[in-house]
DNA sequence: AGAACGCCAATTTTT
DNA sequence: TTGGCGTTCT
């Protein structure tokens, strides 16, 4: 069938979109279906099984996104659906963007106009805005970020006279999030659980919190889905409208859905029952965040008659890596079972090596990276994946010391940084004077002499008059409620906001933002601050204002930021990537280093304590995710001693190491070169002396590192190949340092992105000894330094 | 208001 | 060992 009757029927009334689809079809038909070419049999089955429920179990590297996007192209090209008939949900904005992009590549501009392709939350928002009044909101409700949410919770806790120290907002927040993740409204929370928090007040707090949200005309992230459920349950006609609208539903990363998302999907899917879920139970690593692996395990039960397609052919990794990953994940019991296979060569075995301590492990990783670099491997094809962020420090330190360029992926997101949240708060109040949470945030930032007492007075007034804080402030300055000092401060603020509000619409919004940041004294506040990160924050603010230009108006920009908590990662420079295993999902690299495979760290003790066997299995899936990120090389390591919370403790290699299939693993051991010499037990006595970091010093270090084994541990990891590494690198560094005289001299004031401002104490080629104001004396490469 | 101290806790993190 | 937080002192 090439032309679905509904599509044809609608074409008269809905000419424009259909004609785009028709054009797309026309352009495709002459060649048949070129987009299907190059798919393997299973992928093709997953694409062509258009009707009825479908579960695609897509192992790592098996072409999951390709199937998803081709499926959409297929639906459109065959006329089974128009772009706006298809609901396609992902978890992250990145995934949504990627899909849009690839669909565009497959079917041309027709793919651009997929209005229902997005994250659960963005689609939930879109739906809620249309029917906001049915759940007690106005359509311009604000979406609260984590920080607003916590502030609000704190208020609710205090209002209910609960000791905020015994029952911190954090704990309440996680309880409420948990309930929302499970699709539970306050009245639906099991009494037992509601009782458990704050002497039986859990339920009341949840209700009170929801009530506060409504008065603020705000929703938190959980609400974006939960309120859809409420909306649909209470308004069957609205639900039916959406059920009819979405002829086809596609879900990415189904293994990560929580109960609320599952219910959300199930309600919608009850219309046409054409729901295709793509996921991999072996990559479910977000259980701690409410994801239910059970959703994917139960799919066939929930959607009877479902077609299940397994994608097991891996196009990413070489044989040994795949064998190692498969062997490991096979130890899990709660899984649907897949066996990844490849037609690629066996390739290099996965390597396992030990180090005396975590510092040495970091050194070994850095050294191995340098030796790859010497062999012309791009740094951008190398990643270091750790279990917890705390592991990054030692590795970063080492990279900084060697001048090895790296980038940390993940970490605090752009829009979560304090300066950005502050700037946003100003804009939010300007755009929406009733945004009390935003108002409170910047009420006294920068300092304008307004303290708690003033805020309390405003709150009291606001409650008494039933008006937002800003309005209350406007009224209060006309009275004698406040002391003169506070009164003038509040008046200035109120007048500023009136002025700024008038600017909106008459000036480009990025200019308005710029004006606000300047007139409020906010920019000045950071200029005066001279801590290490102030410069970076100002830089972020500039970037923030610049990024506004991409949006048509202030409202559109604010909507974007509340949902898309990310900054555009600047690509380009050749750098090693450093991130947690969680952040690595979905990425791939030629070479992957996996340090810290020690029991207690990985699998993580806490996961084990809190979730027992399920926790262990999730950790194992995390290991599987880590291994399958590698195309050609996976390098595991562990340390025998690690500093945990400041104390050194001895550790035991991860149980996962012994679960790897022997045939695919190379244990690197060269006891003779075990480099205990450079461990903390035998440190260079003058690490900050002026000769530190010179080629000669480095040579000395390299020699020490090669000399003898002070301890009895038999596992080291210096292979004959990378033993030549340091010397060549050293050659490189010499070459660099003799190339041009340094632009820096002693006593010069400089700035380093990591260590902040400092004074040059010594110059040696391209290496500087700098006395940092905050970080003390460090050796750094001049390329990491700017004149201050 | 801001520095300075002491205490406590300490995975993973998107929207 | 760090960092975040609240308290107390200037």
CA–CA–CA angle A775, A778, A784 (5° rounding): 95
Between CA A160 and C1' B8 the distance (Å) reads: 26
Asked if strand B comes closer than 7 Å to A390 Cβ, the answer is yes
Q: Which nucleotide is nearest to A118 (CA to C1')?
A: B15
Q: Which residues pair with A266 in a beta bridge?
A: none
Instruction: Name the E strands within A145-204.
Output: none
Separation between the CA of A429 and the C1’ of C10 (whole angstroms): 36
Of A671-675, A704-708, A724-728, the least confident: A724-728
pLDDT of A688 higher than 90: no
Å separating the CA of residue A447 from the C1' of nucleotide B1:
9
Which CA distances in Å does A227 have to A116, A183, A185, A474, A659?
A: 18, 9, 9, 34, 45
Q: A607 a known binding residue?
A: no
What's the pLDDT score for residue A6? 36
Q: Which of A563, A545, A564, A559 is nearest to A507 (CA)?
A: A545
Residues close to nucleic acid strand C (C-beta < 7 A) = A 643, 645-647
Is residue A118 annotated as involved in ligand binding? no
Q: Return positions of chain B under 7 A from a protein CB.
A: 1-2, 9-15
A9-35: average pLDDT: 54
Q: Report whether A61 belongs to an annotated binding site.
A: yes
In the DSSP assignment, the letter for residue A344 is: S
Q: Is the distance between the Cβ of A402 and the closest atom of strand B smaller than 7 Å?
A: no
Query: In Å, what is the separation between the CA of A557 and the C1' of C6?
Result: 36
A646: nt with nearest C1' to CA: C1
pLDDT greater than 70 at residue A273: yes
Residue A676 pLDDT > 70? no
Residue with minimal CA–C1' distance to B9 is A645
Give which of A471, A422, A469, A424 is closest to A447, Cα–Cα: A422
Q: Is position A154 annotated in a ligand binding site?
A: no
Q: Residue A452's pLDDT band (boundaries 50, 70, 90)? A: confident
The answer, yes or no, to whether residue A336 has pLDDT greater than 50, is yes
CB under 8 Å to A739, separation ≥6 — which residues? none
Measured distance CA(A26)–CA(A65) in Å, rounded: 25
Answer yes or no: is A704 a known binding residue: no
With 50 as the cut, is the pLDDT of residue A411 above it?
yes
Give the pLDDT confidence of A602-632 residue by residue, as tens digits.
999 999 998 899 999 999 999 999 999 999 9
Judged on CB neighbours under 10 Å (0-12, 13-18, 19+), A47 is buried
Q: Which pLDDT value is given to residue A19?
A: 67
A5-9, A72-76, A448-452, A486-490 — which one is most confidently predicted on average?
A72-76
| Predicted TM-score (pTM) of this structure | 0.80
Which pLDDT tens digit goes with each residue over A168-183? 888 888 889 999 999 9
Q: How far is the CA of A169 from the C1' of C5 (A)?
A: 14
Residue A390: per-residue pLDDT: 93
- Residues A69-106: tens digit of each pLDDT: 999 999 998 999 999 999 999 999 989 999 999 998 88
Please tell me the predicted confidence (pLDDT) of residue A106: 83
Minimum-distance nucleotide, CA of A449 to C1': B1
DSSP A321: H
Closest residue (Cα, C1') to B11:
A388
Q: Which residues of A are catalytic?
A: 64-65, 252-253, 283, 629
- pLDDT tens digits, A217-227: 999 999 999 99
pLDDT of res. A195 = 84
First-residue to last-residue Cα distance in chain A:
69
**Residue A185 is encoded by which pair of tokens?**
């409204």
Q: Return the HEC string of A580-626.
A: EHHHHCCCCEEEEEECCCECEECCEHHHHHHHHHHHHHHHHHHHHHH
Cα separation, A650 vs A741, in Å, equals 46
Q: Which residue has the tokens 């104490």?
A: A761
pLDDT attached to residue A446: 87
Q: Which of residues 273-302 of A touch strand B (CB under 7 A)?
A: 288-289
- Tell me: pLDDT of A184 over 70: yes
* pLDDT score, position A22: 65
pLDDT at A595: 97
Distance between CA atoms of residues A92 and A413, nearest Å: 14
Q: What is the mean pLDDT of residues A674-692?
A: 34
Binding site annotation covers A725? no
Residue A773 pLDDT exceeds 90: no
Mean pLDDT (chain A) is 82
Q: Is the CB of A451 under 7 A from strand B?
A: yes
Does A58 count as an annotated binding residue? yes
At A432, which helix (H) or strand (E)?
Answer: none
| A335 backbone dihedrals φ, ψ, rounded to 5° | -150, 160
Question: Is residue A696 over pLDDT 80?
Answer: no
Handedness of CA A648, A649, A650, A655 (dihedral sign): negative
Residue A168, CB, less than 7 Å from strand B? Answer: no
pLDDT of residue A162: 79
Q: Which residue has the higher pLDDT, A180 or A27?
A: A180
If one compares A523 and A227, the residue with the highest pLDDT of the two is: A227
Three-class SS state of A665: strand
CB A582 under 7 Å to nucleic chain B: yes
Structure tokens at A235: 């308004």
Residue A603, preceding peptide bond in cis (omega within 30° of 0) = yes
**pLDDT value at A145 more than 80:** yes
> With 60 as the cut, is the pLDDT of residue A18 above it?
no
What's the length of chain A? 788
| Tokens 């994917």 belong to residue | A296
Give me the mean pLDDT over the A422-430 stretch: 92
Pairing verdict, β A767-772 and A576-580? unpaired
DSSP state letter for A356: E
Is A592 in contact with A635 (CB distance < 8 Å)? yes
CA distance A548 to A556: 9
Residues 6+ apart with CB under 8 A from A234: A134
DSSP tag of A482: S
Q: Give, in Å, how far the C1' of C8 lies from the CA of A607.
A: 39
Q: DSSP readout, A203-234?
A: HHHHHHHHHHHHHTTEE-HHHHHHHHHHHHHH
Interatomic distance A670 CA / C2 C1' (Å)? 35
Say how many C-beta atoms besides its own lie within 10 A of residue A285's C-beta.
24
């Amino acid at each position: 069938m090439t032309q679905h009757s509904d599509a044809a029927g609608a074409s008269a009334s809905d000419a424009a979109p259909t004609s785009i689809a028709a054009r797309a079809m026309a352009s495709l038909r002459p060649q048949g279906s070129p987009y299907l070419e190059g798919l393997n049999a299973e992928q093709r089955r997953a694409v062509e099984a258009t009707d009825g429920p479908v579960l695609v179990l897509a192992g790592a590297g098996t072409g999951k996104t390709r199937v998803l996007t081709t499926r959409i192209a297929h639906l459109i090209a065959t006329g089974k659906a128009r772009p706006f008939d298809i609901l396609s949900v992902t978890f992250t904005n990145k995934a949504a963007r990627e899909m849009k992009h690839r669909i565009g590549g497959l079917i041309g501009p027709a793919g651009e106009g997929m209005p229902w392709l997005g994250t659960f939350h963005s689609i939930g928002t879109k739906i809620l805005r249309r029917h906001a009044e049915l759940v007690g909101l106005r359509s311009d409700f604000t979406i609260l970020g984590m920080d607003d949410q916590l502030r609000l919770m704190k208020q609710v806790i205090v209002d209910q006279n609960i000791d905020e120290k015994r029952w911190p907002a954090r704990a309440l927040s996680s309880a409420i999030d948990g309930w929302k993740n499970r699709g539970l409204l306050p009245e639906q929370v099991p009494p037992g659980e509601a009782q458990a928090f704050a002497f039986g007040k859990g339920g009341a707090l949840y209700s009170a919190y929801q009530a506060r949200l409504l008065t603020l005309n705000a929703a938190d992230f959980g609400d974006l889905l939960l309120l859809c459920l409420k909306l649909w349950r209470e308004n069957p006609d609205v639900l039916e409208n959406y059920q009819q609208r979405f002829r086809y539903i596609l879900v990415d990363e189904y293994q990560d859905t929580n109960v609320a998302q599952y219910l959300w999907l199930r309600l919608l899917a009850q219309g046409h029952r054409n729901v295709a879920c793509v996921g991999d139970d072996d990559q479910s690593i977000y259980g701690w965040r409410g994801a239910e692996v059970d959703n994917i395990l139960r799919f066939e039960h929930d959607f009877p008659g479902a077609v299940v397609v397994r994608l097991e052919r891996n196009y990413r990794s070489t044989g040994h890596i795949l064998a190692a990953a498969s062997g490991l994940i096979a130890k899990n019991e709660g899984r649907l079972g897949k066996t990844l296979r490849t037609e690629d060569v066996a390739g290099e075995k996965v390597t396992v090596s030990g180090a005396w301590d975590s510092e040495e492990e970091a050194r070994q990783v850095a050294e191995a990276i340098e030796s790859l670099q010497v062999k012309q491997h791009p740094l951008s094809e190398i990643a270091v994946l750790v279990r917890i962020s705390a592991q990054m420090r030692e590795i970063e330190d080492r990279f900084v010391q060697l001048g090895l360029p790296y980038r940390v992926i993940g970490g605090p997101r752009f829009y979560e940084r304090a300066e950005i949240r502050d700037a946003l708060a100003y804009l939010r109040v300007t755009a929406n004077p009733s945004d009390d949470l935003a108002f409170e945030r910047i009420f006294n930032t920068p300092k304008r002499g307004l303290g708690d007492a003033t805020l309390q007075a405003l709150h009291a007034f606001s409650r008494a008059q039933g008006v937002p804080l800003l309005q209350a402030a406007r009224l209060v300055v006309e009275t004698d409620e406040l002391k003169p000092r506070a009164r003038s401060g509040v008046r200035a603020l109120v007048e500023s906001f009136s002025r700024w509000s008038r600017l909106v619409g008459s000036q480009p919004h990025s200019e308005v933002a710029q004006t606000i940041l300047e007139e409020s004294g906010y920019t000045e506040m950071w200029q005066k601050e001279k801590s290490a990160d102030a410069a970076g924050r100002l830089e972020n603010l500039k970037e923030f204002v610049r990024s506004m230009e991409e949006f048509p108006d202030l409202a559109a920009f604010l909507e974007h930021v509340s949902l898309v908590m990310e900054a555009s990662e600047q690509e380009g420079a050749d750098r090693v990537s450093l991130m947690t295993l969680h952040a690595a999902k979905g990425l791939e690299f030629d070479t992957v280093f996996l340090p810290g495979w020690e029991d207690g760290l990985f699998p993580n003790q806490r996961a084990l304590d809190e979730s027992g066997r399920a926790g262990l299995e999730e950790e194992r899936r995390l290991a599987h995710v880590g291994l399958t990120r590698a195309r050609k090389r996976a390098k595991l390591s562990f340390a025998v001693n690690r500093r945990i919370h400041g104390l050194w403790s001895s550790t035991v290699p991860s149980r996962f190491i012994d679960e790897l299939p022997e045939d695919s693993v190379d244990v690197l051991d060269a006891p003779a070169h075990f480099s205990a010499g450079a461990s903390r037990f035998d440190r260079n006595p003058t690490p900050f002396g002026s000769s530190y970091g010179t080629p000669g010093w480095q040579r000395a270090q390299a020699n020490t590192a090669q000399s003898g084994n002070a301890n009895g541990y038999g596992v080291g990891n210096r292979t004959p190949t990378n033993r030549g590494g340091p010397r060549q690198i050293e050659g490189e560094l010499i070459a660099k340092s003799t190339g041009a005289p340094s632009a820096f001299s002693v006593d010069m004031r400089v700035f380093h992105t990591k260590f902040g401002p400092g004074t040059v104490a010594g110059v040696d080629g391209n290496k500087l000894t700098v006395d940092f104001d905050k970080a003390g004396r460090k050796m750094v490469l001049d390329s990491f330094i700017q004149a201050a």
